[in-house]
Amino acid sequence: MHEFAYAKLNLALHVRGREPDGYHRIETAFAFAQDGDMLSVVEGEGISLGVTGPFADSLAGEDNIVLKAANALRERCGIGAGAALTLDKRLPVASGIGGGSADAAAALRLLRRWWRADLPEAALAELARGLGADVLACFHSRTARGEGRGDRLEFTDYGLGGAPLLLVNPGVRLSTRDVFERWDGRDRGPLGDPRIGRNDLEAPAKGLVPEIGEVLEALAALDTATMIRMSGSGATCFALFTEEADRDRASRRFAHRHPHWWRLASRLR
């Protein structure tokens, strides 16, 4: 049995304030690509996780959130059966596109089916919320406006479904915590239409990884792109297009000029 862990995008991300507990209050527009990591399961003793794929080595030694999600669901439902999970890690780690959060959300969806868990959608969503700020949005994998820590969701249609999408990452990991700590504390206003919004984490992210600026400049040079932005806390950036052919030409151009940058040609769900 298989389940996609769809890549998450922040079409816009406005940081409105820092809470006393250290978390930040944000307003964001979530969207999801049609592609991402792939999680699969077969019968097994206990809960185990194997990792394959181009970014498998990036997770070596980490306390994987997929196992946390699996054990949380198992405990919540009182399930005695095990599961041998395999994660095909296709998305770069610590890259602003929800890789770990999307993987955890996929584990909840997959194992509910695998174990035939009698758990209402709302209860499963609460498990997702407890695993991390973005896990709830990734659990639904639908376009939504997120507030608070990003876990108060209002599902909406931004009219971008099916839009050709190019994701580009300069190959540098970036800590979400480090980026938020460098936010200047200035509230630049609420989120309206995400197409004319902004990402308030772009400046601090570029301060830590200047290559993000190079990626954004290269994307800005594409005269066919309809939206260009950094996603989440970086370092992945993206461009939306009207035509698939324009996206594919852009992808080939990046492959030729920046062969060491990771890229993914996809569409919005």
| From 35, 134, 200, 246, the catalytic residue | 134
Q: Which long-range contacts link 17-20 to residues 24+ away (Cβ below 8 Å)?
A: 17/187, 18/183, 18/185
In 128-163, where do the E strands start and end? Answer: 144-148, 152-155
| CA-closest candidate to residue 194, choices 151, 160, 244 | 160
Distance CA 233, CA 246 (A): 27
| From 8, 35, 200, 246, the catalytic residue | 8
| Residue 89 a catalytic site member | no
Let me know: does 113 contact 1? Beta carbons within 8 Å.
yes
Three-state secondary structure call for residue 237: strand
| Residue 8 a catalytic site member | yes
| CA-closest candidate to residue 103, choices 200, 199, 6 | 6
- DSSP code, position 92: P
Helices 99-114, 65-77: inter-axial angle, 10-degree rounding:
30
Q: Which residues are catalytic?
A: 8, 134
